[in-house]
């Protein structure tokens, strides 16, 4: 945390679901076995408190369909891979052993429901700034043949038997199953917390193509991240553009993908993923190339404790992040944020004026300013409620917020001075 602050890094993506386990208090999955210390220790809650105290955002990084790092099942009888072996994706010949481990099959409706609940458990219960979906794809073009998935496909399409892997309808159906989960998470997460950022770790394998449908992410792992941006079902895409700058071919591919990002971002944002395990000088060159092309931001993998990290921080601070920067504004969220905050405001006014319930009004207005911190009228009404409850310090704080946003707001200045006077009198007494 100290080094992140020193390097003027404004957000941390913290891995809290790795292989069907939890680095937080989960209602669905077992606690990760490599968490040191007291069994009540909550790593995610800890990092949120520490990061927010430093003005750094926290995004919960969660592996989506990859739920085990080996081809043999886990020993824990309660692990999802053991409880539901039929949910594990496989090839047409029944092989579940993808090179990256075991994956749940996106084509199984119960898999999407279960994964959705796991993700929303974190959104509901933690003060995170974002939810980050990794491994949100198939492990390869030949996978997707979990028996329930094939049954769902045949039922939906009116077909029988086992589809051929290269069947265009079968290929598109698998893409659609991944998109269905991404869309559902986005819809519900942003309805619950309009300010939350939903992002995905995307693959930019091979070289960038003029037509996204010709790229490996689209053809090989059925990850249509361009479509997610176009449909507005994610806020940000973070392609893992990990290329070796010292290799001319790789360096060219890195820049080709940057150009593709600008072509396919639509009205959302794409941040290029960088390999922070390369030399700091290489990282700097790639950041400069991204900035030259107007890329909205960069996300480095990873910031783990290594001998090179201190040197990286020094170089970033000296050459790239000499001062802190605000997180890129998500302008497309403004209408939703205003709609929800205004509804809370109206309900708060009714609670106070019609029901004479100051506590209910206080709670609703607090929610309104949490959603929209620049909502002047909500801050002003909060100040008035605090004054009625004779909570003078809180009233002064809210009126100060109003005056910070609107210095000419005379009523706020008058009520602020009155509350401050009562506060001083109370302190003196």
**pLDDT tens-place string over residues 220-229:** 999 999 999 9
Do strands 102-103 and 66-68 pair parallel, antiparallel, or not at all (unpaired)? Answer: antiparallel
**pLDDT tens-place string over residues 229-265:** 999 999 999 999 999 999 999 999 999 999 999 999 9
Which whole-number Å values give the CA distances from 409 to 19, 284, 379, 401, 404, in the listed order? 53, 46, 12, 11, 10
Instruction: Grade residue 307 by pLDDT with cuts at 50, 70 and 90.
Output: confident
User: Is 92 in contact with 144 (CB distance < 8 Å)?
Assistant: no
- For the chain, the 3-state helix, strand and coil shares in percent, each to the nearest 5, are 50, 10, 40
Choice between 336 and 74, residue whose per-residue pLDDT is larger: 74
pTM of structure: 0.89
**pLDDT tens-place string over residues 130-149:** 999 999 999 999 999 999 99
User: Is 137 in contact with 203 (CB distance < 8 Å)?
Assistant: yes
Euclidean distance between CA atoms 204 and 94, whole angstroms? 28
- Has residue 429 got a pLDDT over 80? no
DSSP per-residue letters across 345-401: HHHHHHHHHTS--HHHHHHHHHHHHHH-TT-HHHHHHHHHHHHHTT-HHHHHHHHHH
Which whole-number Å values give the CA distances from 353 to 357, 387, 411, in the listed order? 8, 16, 19
Neighbours of 256 (CB within 10 A): 16
Q: What is the mean pLDDT of the chain?
A: 95
Judged by DSSP in three states, 23 sits in: coil
Choice between 71 and 89, residue whose per-residue pLDDT is larger: 89
Confidence at residue 426, expressed as pLDDT on a 0 to 100 scale? 66
Judged by DSSP in three states, 327 sits in: coil
**pLDDT tens-place string over residues 144-175:** 999 999 999 999 999 999 999 999 999 999 99
Instruction: Grade residue 299 by pLDDT with cuts at 50, 70 and 90.
Output: very high
Instruction: Grade residue 26 by pLDDT with cuts at 50, 70 and 90.
Output: very high
Euclidean distance between CA atoms 259 and 175, whole angstroms? 24
Which whole-number Å values give the CA distances from 77 to 29, 39, 81, in the listed order? 12, 20, 9
């Amino acid at each position: 945390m100290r080094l992140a602050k020193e390097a003027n890094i404004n957000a941390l993506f913290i891995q809290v679901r790795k292989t069907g386990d939890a680095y937080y208090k989960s209602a669905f999955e077992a606690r990760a076995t490599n968490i040191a210390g007291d069994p009540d220790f909550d790593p995610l809650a800890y990092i949120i408190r520490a990061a927010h105290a430093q003005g750094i955002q926290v995004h919960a990084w969660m592996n989506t369909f990859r739920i085990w790092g080996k081809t043999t099942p886990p020993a824990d009888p309660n692990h999802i891979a053991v409880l539901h072996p039929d949910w594990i994706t496989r090839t047409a010949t029944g092989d579940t052993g993808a090179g990256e481990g075991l994956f749940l099959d996106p084509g199984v409706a119960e898999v999407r429901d279960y994964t959705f609940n796991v993700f929303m458990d974190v959104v509901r219960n933690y003060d995170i700034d974002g939810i980050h979906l990794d491994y949100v794809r198939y492990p390869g073009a030949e996978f997707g043949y979990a028996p329930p998935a094939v049954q769902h496909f045949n039922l939906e399409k009116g077909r029988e038997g086992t589809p051929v892997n290269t069947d265009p309808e079968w290929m598109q159906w698998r893409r659609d199953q991944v998109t269905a989960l991404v869309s559902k998470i986005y819809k519900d997460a942003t309805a619950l917390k309009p300010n939350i950022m939903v992002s995905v770790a995307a693959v930019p394998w091979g070289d960038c193509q003029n037509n996204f449908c010709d790229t490996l992410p689209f053809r090989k792992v059925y990850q249509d991240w361009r479509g997610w941006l176009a449909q507005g079902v994610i806020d940000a895409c973070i392609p893992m553009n990990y290329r070796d700058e010292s290799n001319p071919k790789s360096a060219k591919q890195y820049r080709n993908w940057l150009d593709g990002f600008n072509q396919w971002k639509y009205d959302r944002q794409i941040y290029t993923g960088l390999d922070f395990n390369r030399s700091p000088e290489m990282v700097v060159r790639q950041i400069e190339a991204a900035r030259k092309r107007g890329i909205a931001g960069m996300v480095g993998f990873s910031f783990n404790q290594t001998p090179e990290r201190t040197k990286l921080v020094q170089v970033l601070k000296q050459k790239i992040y000499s001062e802190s920067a605000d997180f890129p504004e998500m302008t497309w969220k403004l209408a939703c944020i205003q709609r929800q905050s205004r509804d809370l405001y109206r309900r708060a006014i009714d609670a106070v004026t019609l029901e004479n319930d100051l506590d209910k009004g206080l709670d609703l207005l607090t929610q309104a300013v949490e959603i929209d911190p620049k909502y002047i009228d909500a801050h002003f009404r909060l100040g008035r409620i605090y004054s009625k409850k004779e909570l003078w310090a809180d009233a002064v704080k809210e009126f100060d917020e109003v005056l910070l946003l609107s210095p000419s707001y005379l009523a706020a200045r008058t009520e602020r001075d009155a509350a401050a006077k009562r506060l001083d009198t109370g302190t003196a007494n």
